[in-house]
Every structure is written in structure tokens, then in C-alpha cells.
Structure 1
């Protein structure tokens, strides 16, 4: 069994701009374009298995709409030896200062 560590949406602000962290938005590109966490890369959940390898030296923080897909992604990557976190409640729970909006 691989324990999945979680963080609250409020804690995302702590990880933005950290060089040792990669924040991954698992939502569809349309949702990402409308609004996302500053610095997050968009890799839709359905495309994650086909994406290039993610950096093992970084902490991977996954978020989706509500948290289900991010838990699945974090579980998958922790099994492969990555350090991961899943955001509880997903992007819908985020109210921080690092939310970007399309203009």
C-alpha cells in the first residue's frame, strides 16, 4: 500500500514558485485556459500516461476539478517512486492569490 499525501487548496500558495516543486493541472485545456494556478503545467488526466516523463527530483502536486483524478494520479506516480501530493477539493476549493484568469 502506498500512502497518498494530501494538501489543502489553501496550501497551494506555499508551493507556487518553488524550484523543487512541479504543480500539474489535470483538467481539460479549456478549463486551464480560463483559470489555473500560476506556474502550473496542464496535462489532462486522460493524457498523463502518454506525457513525457516528469522530473523525479521534484515534488509533484496534482490538482483537478474536485480531487478524484488528482488522487489517482498521485497514487500512480508514488508507486513509480515519485514524491507526490494531491490537492483536497481540487481547483474548485482554491481561493488563493495565485489564481490566473484569461483575459
Structure 2
């Protein structure tokens, strides 16, 4: 079973710049449309596990509003063998340079 790693919102820019990462926004579509991290894909919390085509060769970087939902989904995905990172504090804590409004 893969480990679940947690990063701070301040560290998120480093991961956003990496080609081996897939940023996944777990919030509802209207929240994503109001502001998200550049290049992130929107897969709402309830839909994420239905996406069986998630790449296992990339690091999945999950974030939500405050970090609790991404942690729950991150644990599930890690148990399935995915490499997963979650953002503590989520979008609420993010103040980086890749915010798209």
C-alpha cells in the first residue's frame, strides 16, 4: 500500500510545476469555476473513485476547500496503490502564484 503524504499550501506551487504530477480539485464545479490552481482538473469528491483511468505513473495532488475531503479520498487512493499527496488547508490556505479566477 502506498503512503499518503501531506504538504502545506505553501508547497503546492512546487508540485504545480512538476510534469509528473496531476492536480485534482475535489470541490464542486461552481467552486472550481470561482477559482482553482492552474492546470488542475475538476473531479468532485463523489466522482473521483469512479475515474478508474487515473494514471498510476503520476503523483496525484489532491486538494479541496480545507483539506479534510482530500485526505479521505487520498487514503482511499493510496490503498489502491496510487501515489498521493494532499494539501493541508486546501484552497482556503492557498496564496500561491497559480491561482486562476
DSSP-derived class of the 1:22 partner: strand
Q: 1:67–1:89: 8 Å Cα contact kept in structure 2?
A: yes
Alignment of 1:38-77 (within 5 A): 38-77=38-77
CA distance in structure 1 between the partners assigned to 2:82 and 2:52 by the alignment: 14
CA distance in 2, matches of 1:16, 1:81: 22
| Compared CA separation, residues 58 and 90, structure 1 to 2 (3 A) | same
Shift of 1:15: 1.1
**Any stretches of 5+ residues in structure 1 without a counterpart?**
none
With structure 2 as the length reference, what TM-score do the two structures score? 0.94
Number of the residue aligned with 2:36 = 36
Cα offset for 1:52?
3.9
2:16 equivalent in structure 1: 16
Find the counterpart in structure 2 of residue 25 from structure 1: 25
Shift, 1:3, TM fit: 4.4
The number of residue pairs the alignment matches comes to 101
Give the drift of 1:2: 6.4
CA displacement at 1:90 relative to structure 2: 0.7
Moved more, 33-42 or 43-52: 43-52
**Residue matched to 2:96:** 96
Rounded Cα–Cα distance in structure 1 between residues aligned with 2:58 and 2:33: 24
1:23–1:62 Cα contact (<8 Å) kept: yes
Alignment root-mean-square deviation, CA: 1.4
